[in-house]
Amino acid sequence: MQLSITHTTRYDYAPPVDVAQHIACLRPRTTVVQQLLSHQLSVSPTPSQCRESVDAFGNQRSFLSLQIPHDRLEVTATSVVQTRSLDMSAVALPWEQAAEHFRYRADAVYDADVEFRFPSQHVPRHAEFAAYAQPSFTPDADLHAATLDLMQRIHQEFRYDSQSTEVHTPALEALRQRHGVCQDFAHIMIACLRSLGLSARYVSGYLLTQPPPGQPRLVGADASHAWISLLLPTQDGATRWCDFDPTNDRWGWGAPGDDYVVLALGRDFADVSPIRGVIHGGASHELTVAVTVAPLDAEADTGHTLFDASPAAAPVAPSQTQSQSQSQSKASP
């Protein structure tokens, strides 16, 4: 499937910002189930410096430096990707055996994936996560089956509520209140898996949504999405990442489906925020985010023009099954 993604982020500042430094993580990855065909990043006002780099997790990042006063910042990433589904099976393996693989041993060969076994900024270690995971991970339970059961329990027992949490809401708080957004559900599931000694990582990306029957696809009405990835053994004797989306109760190798787009990977949201930065000035700001994910030939398929649902001065409401945050901090005078 060929998908077109347009992700626009706009900050309106009052009073104007004097100088600003930003890092954008908006370039989709090329993976075993996804190929990046094109990508363009547009920034207004034009940065005095723009530099590309790859972080420790293989994500492409853009460093943006703005050295002139500005009352608005608009960043638009336009990408086209080719996606596919991967059909393969996991080896039946007790979850305890998989956890043992990542246990430290003196003189053992270093495995980079062990980094996703430890606590991180938004995924702390706590006994309540292990207790929540325990009904799924009974003694000698198959790793894949147990993870699937955990995902389904989160999907069934937690309520999606876009107004209930924010980017800094602790995963433990979201676990206790049993509601949140995809970001919260991903952090909770990762915390549960890591509490058992398993290697799990956070995936940021997009999901193709379908408009109601007979209705046109709305430009800007989508949102970024988040799910998790767990390292599992495969039939060929190797290991491979298997993705689980507790928000939508879906899973698959490399991605939960060919309607998903992988943007970035990390330990948690802090590693993959679409845009983050530091500003000097701009006592207050309004954030507007508009995301469109559509088949490349959407207009030809539907016979409809794509309608714009992202007015310049109004934030766009995320879809019911997608919502991630973006962050910005103010420098001290």
Which positions ≥6 away from 116 have C-beta within 8 Å?
194, 199, 200, 201, 231, 267
> Which amino acid type is present at position 90?
A
- Is the model more confident about 97 or about 133? 133
Q: 109 and 219: one domain?
A: yes
Same domain, 103 and 66: no
Is the Cβ–Cβ distance between 196 and 141 less than 8 Å? no
pLDDT digit string, tens, across residues 80-109: 999 999 988 878 889 998 898 888 888 777
Q: What is the pLDDT of residue 45?
A: 97
Among residues 270, 301, 316, the one where a domain terminates is 270
Same domain, 153 and 228: yes
CA atoms within 13 A on the CB side of 211: 22
Domain end residue (candidates: 270, 288, 317): 270
Q: What domain count does the chain have?
A: 2
Confidence (pLDDT) at 244: 98
Are 27 and 119 within one domain?
A: no
Q: Are residues 303 and 223 in the same domain?
A: no
- At position 67, the amino acid (one-letter code) is Q
36-45, 86-95, 127-136, 233-242: segment of lowest average pLDDT: 233-242
Confidence check: pLDDT of 331 > 60: no
Q: What value does the mean pLDDT take over residues 12-19?
A: 96
pLDDT for 220:
56
pLDDT given at position 76: 98
Per-residue pLDDT reduced to its tens digit, 270-309:
999 999 999 999 889 999 999 999 998 654 444 333 333 3
pLDDT higher than 90, residue 65 = yes
Q: Which of 237, 104, 133 is nearest to 193 (CA)?
A: 133
Residues 260 and 277 in one domain: no
CB 118 within 8 A of CB 46: no
CATH number of the domain at 184, please: 3.10.620.30
**CATH number for the domain harbouring residue 26:** 2.60.40.2250
What is the reported pLDDT for 312?
Answer: 32
Question: What are the pLDDT digits (tens) for 287-297?
Answer: 999 999 999 86
Considering the domain boundaries, does residue 90 fall inside one? Answer: no
pTM here is 0.87
Question: Is 178:264 a contact under the CB 8 Å cutoff?
Answer: no
Closest CA to 242 of 257, 227, 252: 252
The mean per-residue pLDDT over the stretch 105-120 comes to 86
**Pair 315, 204 in one domain:** no
**Residue-wise pLDDT tens digits, 155-206:** 999 999 887 767 778 999 999 999 999 999 999 999 999 999 999 999 999 9
Task: Give pLDDT, residue 211.
Answer: 74
Whether 263 has a pLDDT exceeding 60, the answer reads: yes
Under 8 Å between Cβ of 71 and 13:
yes
- Asked whether residue 266 falls in the same domain as residue 178, the answer is yes
